[in-house]
């Protein structure tokens, strides 16, 4: 078989089933982002609750693509990079936009949300760059370095509970304070903690 890196790539023909599942992950994430953006412009958005279904569905796809690739024995040379790009949409950008849409709109909040997404990107880049070395030549990574970015679904669940209870916007848990001339919601510390955990050197066994 020719080295895919030495020939032009027909995108669709190069995809395997797992890749389409990965793209579904990204699709669910983008749909959630659109609903969040719609709420920012119109707080009466009828279907906003669907965000809390779409992002868990993205997580299901993230788990399922690896399962399918392993059991069908059809590896994609795009798979790892495709998975990382989909994950940053669904578990990095989407949770950050969700927080903003539900009231984390102070300047300090925005800086922390940017930090969170930057940590997610950095964590995925580190994983892709070190995966081969961490696998010890076996092709299977034995542990994660830093928490996996899909762990941000925990924040989504917490926000889902707050949304269900009506504790959003000015009623967000932990309230808000002013630091200097900017507003800060202590709730964003959850994003700061999640981002910091992703770029840490904590070793987490990989299933």
Six-digit token pair at 48? 């906003």
Of 74-88, 90-104, 154-168, minimum mean pLDDT range: 74-88
Task: Express as a percent the part of the chain with pLDDT over 70.
Answer: 81
Q: How would residue 203 be classed by pLDDT, with cut points 50, 70 and 90?
A: confident
Which has the higher per-residue pLDDT, 197 or 77? 197
39: domain range? Answer: 10-205
**Any domain includes 5:** no
Return d(Cα 194, Cα 119) in angstroms, integer.
Answer: 9
Q: Is the pLDDT of residue 191 over 90?
A: yes
Mean pLDDT of the chain: 87
Domain count, the chain: 1
Closest CA to 147 of 86, 99, 191: 191
* 81-103 pLDDT tens trace: 889 999 999 999 999 999 999 99
Q: Which residue has the tokens 């992950």?
A: 25
pLDDT at 115: 98
For residues 69, 71, 72 and 73, what is the CA-based torsion angle, rounded to 10 degrees?
80
Q: Is the pLDDT of residue 139 over 70?
A: no
Q: Is the pLDDT of residue 1 over 60?
A: no
Closest CA to 50 of 61, 39, 64: 39
CATH number at residue 134: 1.20.120.1760
**Any domain includes 1:** no
pLDDT at 136: 59
**Any domain includes 3:** no
Mean pLDDT, residues 156-169? 96
Six-digit token pair at 32? 């959630």
**Any domain includes 170:** yes
* 27-71 pLDDT tens trace: 999 999 999 999 988 866 779 999 999 999 999 999 998 788 666
pLDDT at 6: 52
Q: What angle do CA 82, 101, 38 make, to 5 degrees?
A: 80
- For residues 141 and 135, the answer to whether their CB atoms sit within 8 Å is yes
Buried b (16+ CB within 10 A) or exposed e, 178-201: eeeeebbbebbebbeebbebbbee
Contacts of 39 (CB under 8 A, 6+ apart): 45, 48, 101
Buried b (16+ CB within 10 A) or exposed e, 107-145: ebbbebbebbbebbbebbeebeeeeeebeeeeeebeebb
Helices within 42-106 (DSSP H only): 51-72, 79-88, 94-101
Q: How would residue 13 be classed by pLDDT, with cut points 50, 70 and 90?
A: low
**Any domain includes 65:** yes
Closest CA to 63 of 142, 153, 155, 194: 153
Return d(Cα 142, Cα 2) in angstroms, integer.
Answer: 29
**Any domain includes 158:** yes
Overall pTM > 0.85: yes
pLDDT at 62: 93
**Any domain includes 2:** no
């Amino acid at each position: 078989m020719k080295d895919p890196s030495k020939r032009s790539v027909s995108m669709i023909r190069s995809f395997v089933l797992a890749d389409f599942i990965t793209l579904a992950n990204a699709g669910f994430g983008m749909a959630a982002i659109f609903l969040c953006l719609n709420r920012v412009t119109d707080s009466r958005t009828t279907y906003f609750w669907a965000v809390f279904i779409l992002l868990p569905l993205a997580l299901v796809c993230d788990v399922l693509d690896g399962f399918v690739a392993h059991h069908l024995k059809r590896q994609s040379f795009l798979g790892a990079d495709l998975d990382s790009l989909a994950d940053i949409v669904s578990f990095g950008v989407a949770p950050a936009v969700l927080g903003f849409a539900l009231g984390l709109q102070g300047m300090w909040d925005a800086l922390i949300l940017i930090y969170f997404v930057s940590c997610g990107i950095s964590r995925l880049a580190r994983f892709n760059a070190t995966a081969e070395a961490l696998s010890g030549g076996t092709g299977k990574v034995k542990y994660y370095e830093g928490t996996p970015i899909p762990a941000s679904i925990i924040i989504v669940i917490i926000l889902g509970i707050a949304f269900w209870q009506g504790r959003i916007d000015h009623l967000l848990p932990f309230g808000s304070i002013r630091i200097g001339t900017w507003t800060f919601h202590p709730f964003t510390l959850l994003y700061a903690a999640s981002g910091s955990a992703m770029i840490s050197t904590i070793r987490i066994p990989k299933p």
